[in-house]
Chain A
Amino acid sequence: MRAAVIDGKAIATKMREETAREAAELAQQGWQPRLVSISVGDTAAAELYVRNQQRQAQDAGVEFEARNYPGTISMEQLVGVLQGLNADPRVNGIIIQRPLPAPIPVKALQKAVHPLKDVEGMHPASIGNIVYNDLALGPCTAVAAVEILKTLPLKLEGLDVTVIGHSEIVGKPIAFLLMGLGATVTVCHHMTRSVAMHSRAADAVFVAVGKPGLVTGDMLKPGAALIDIGINRVEGKTVGDADFASCAEVAGWITPVPGGVGPVTVATLMKNAVLATRMQMAHYRAQYANTEV
């Protein structure tokens, strides 16, 4: 094997330590970061994620409250809950766990989260800020994938990057984040004629499609970085979108699945919680510091 395997867990641990330091600082000023997680209906599917987030929040010095609502709750009631959390100064970030029961429109619900408390980076204003190169709260998975690339000894300015998958919460934000950092980015998807032509020209490849084995070693430029964002279940095992064995022979760096992007994503959520708290503190001070109103 040729590629260096990127240790996502180690990157995440380092990020959490930094987050814990900042959270303690904020707590000292009376702004203890606090997240509220909302699950709706049959919560079994998301339970594992929620417990994992809860554990990592603890490590990062972030308070975490998990709330469950019955599947019979209406959209109006849920929006009411979110408005209450938006208005509550003790809550700094809101997580909407997916999947939601089918009748509840996810995007409409995400829009009801105040942009300053949007720790998942799903509000259109959060995405708009990324497009305009003003990173405040970005979608966690996309930010995590880019953070991983940043740990490698590659100059991002002018780097040729191919992103496979153009989803709104992963592929596209990765493209815009990297473009902002000076990379030349190509975005491929299911309608792309020859993904291999584009991936072979790239110094770094991001894949986020949800198809195991989609990227094989012969599709890579020797020495390229491969960031695998896919999470698929195959024969009881968790695998990414890349065929790890053949890619590891050609790539210079590769993220494993599990243990690559996943842990960094949750660490990014905690980092966003601290960022959101800091932004809310600044907002509060700007609002109330001035007595001439």
Chain B
Amino acid sequence: MTATIIDGKAFAAKVRAQVAEHVQRLKDEHGLTPGLAVVLVGEDPASQVYVRSKGKQTLEVGMNSFEHKLPADTAEADLLALIQQLNADPAVHGILVQLPLPGHLDSDLVINAIDPAKDVDGFHISNVGLLGTGQKSMVPCTPLGCLMMLRDHHGSLAGMNAVVVGRSNIVGKPMAQLLLGDSCTVTIAHSRTRDLPDVLSRADIVVAAVGRPEMVRGEWLKPGATVIDVGINRIEGRNGLFGDCDFASCVEVAGAITPVPGGVGPMTIACLLANTLTATCRANGLAEPQGLTA
């Protein structure tokens, strides 16, 4: 058996098209243009690439993009002042501070200074708690993207056994909450898990987010399982990017699988735009778009 390949690139394009449609409607019916502010401190080359790509896609769906590039030695007080200003700016509906921040800045303090309603990354402690208590929140983009792909592939996820491999704050933990919210039975496995193959053998859904190249082997999977691979790794001596799953063996056993690259990756920015749209609707007391939030 060979798995269906879930095309993240095509699905992300579909999500962006949906977002663009809603943006157009907000402009026509309410005179509103959603705005996303991205704050980049320092000159980390990878961050610069991300920020450029985010800015480009923001404009493509018809939103306003506000880029704030600050020097690497920016004082914490100055960064906090900028965030206060963006919090107060009615043209800004979403604020994203590109991580990692230079070492002298306290990321927790900076993230928690963002107005939770504008925290489109979903990292503010209040949003984490709101998600944890099943209330309306801003949901972190990568797990939201995974959830959308799973819903698109399966329809209802209720009653399925899901295993999340990895317990990071930005993927594993929110992913587990989202899957619980969709009524999966959820197991969170991680580096301390004794027998990962045994845990995976019962999983209808596997979300791998550990950051270890090709760790999950096809022979560990339940035949027909859906595999969402969040990992983006490099391997010394080999060209290209590699996921946390060994694609060659997994594709033989799984029912469906996301490739790396071209799977989860493209969904992340699409979900950032979806979150900005959601934040805009909430800030203006308008109905939230269907299918673009948890």
- A interface residues with partner B (beta carbon < 8 Å): 107, 123-133, 157-158, 160, 166, 168-169, 172-173, 175-176, 179, 182-189, 191-193, 197-198, 201
Judging by beta carbons under 8 Å apart, are B132 and A176 in contact? Answer: yes
Judging by beta carbons under 8 Å apart, are A179 and B180 in contact? Answer: no
Task: Out of A128, A157, A168, A188, name the residue touching B125 (CB < 8 Å).
Answer: A128
Judging by beta carbons under 8 Å apart, are A124 and B158 in contact? Answer: no
Judging by beta carbons under 8 Å apart, are B129 and A189 in contact? Answer: no
Given the contacts A158-B193, A184-B194, A124 and B130 also touching, CB distance less than 8 Å: yes
Could you tell me which residues of chain B, from 82 to 116, have a CB within 8 Å of some CB in chain A? none
Judging by beta carbons under 8 Å apart, are B187 and A186 in contact? Answer: yes
- B interface residues with partner A (beta carbon < 8 Å): 125-135, 158-159, 161, 167, 169, 173, 176-177, 180, 183-190, 192-194, 198-199, 202
Complex Cα distance, B190 from A173, in Å, reads 18
Apart from A107-B135, A187-B180, list 5 A-B contacts with CB within 8 A. Answer: A168-B134, A179-B190, A184-B189, A193-B185, A197-B202
Judging by beta carbons under 8 Å apart, are B129 and A125 in contact? Answer: yes
How far in angstroms is the closest Cβ of chain B from A83?
Answer: 18
Task: Give B199's nearest chain A residue, CB to CB.
Answer: A184
| A-B Cβ contacts below 8 A, count | 101
Task: Give B116's nearest chain A residue, CB to CB.
Answer: A124
Judging by beta carbons under 8 Å apart, are B185 and A186 in contact? Answer: yes
Complex Cα distance, B140 from A138, in Å, reads 23
Complex Cα distance, B199 from A124, in Å, reads 31
Judging by beta carbons under 8 Å apart, are A185 and B188 in contact? Answer: yes
Which residues from B are CB-within-8-Å of A123?
A: 129
Judging by beta carbons under 8 Å apart, are B127 and A160 in contact? Answer: no
Most buried by B among A124, A158, A193: A124
Which residues from B are CB-within-8-Å of A130?
A: 132
Task: Give B167's nearest chain A residue, CB to CB.
Answer: A179
Judging by beta carbons under 8 Å apart, are B135 and A191 in contact? Answer: no
Interface of B is mostly: mixed
Task: Out of B128, B161, B192, name the residue touching A128 (CB < 8 Å).
Answer: B128
Task: Out of A124, A131, A172, A191, name the residue touching B185 (CB < 8 Å).
Answer: A191
Judging by beta carbons under 8 Å apart, are B132 and A131 in contact? Answer: yes
Judging by beta carbons under 8 Å apart, are A128 and B185 in contact? Answer: no
Which residues from B are CB-within-8-Å of A191?
A: 158-159, 183-185
Judging by beta carbons under 8 Å apart, are A132 and B192 in contact? Answer: no
Task: Out of B126, B159, B187, name the residue touching A124 (CB < 8 Å).
Answer: B126
Given the contacts A124-B126, A160-B194, A193 and B169 also touching, CB distance less than 8 Å: no
Given the contacts A184-B199, A186-B185, A189-B185, A128 and B194 also touching, CB distance less than 8 Å: no
Complex Cα distance, B198 from A201, in Å, reads 10
Selected A-B contacts with CB under 8 Å, 22 pairs? A107-B133, A124-B130, A127-B128, A128-B128, A128-B129, A128-B130, A128-B132, A131-B129, A131-B173, A132-B128, A168-B134, A172-B132, A175-B176, A175-B188, A176-B132, A179-B173, A182-B192, A184-B189, A191-B183, A193-B161, A193-B185, A201-B198
Complex Cα distance, B189 from A247, in Å, reads 27
Task: Out of A107, A127, A184, name the residue touching B187 (CB < 8 Å).
Answer: A184
Judging by beta carbons under 8 Å apart, are B194 and A127 in contact? Answer: no
Task: Out of A107, A128, A160, A188, name the residue touching B126 (CB < 8 Å).
Answer: A128
How far in angstroms is the closest Cβ of chain A from B77?
Answer: 13
How far in angstroms is the closest Cβ of chain A from B59?
Answer: 33
How far in angstroms is the closest Cβ of chain B from A150?
Answer: 16
Complex Cα distance, B129 from A185, in Å, reads 19
Task: Out of B134, B192, B202, name the residue touching A158 (CB < 8 Å).
Answer: B192
Which residues from B are CB-within-8-Å of A107?
A: 133, 135
Complex Cα distance, B128 from A282, in Å, reads 25
Task: Give A161's nearest chain B residue, CB to CB.
Answer: B187
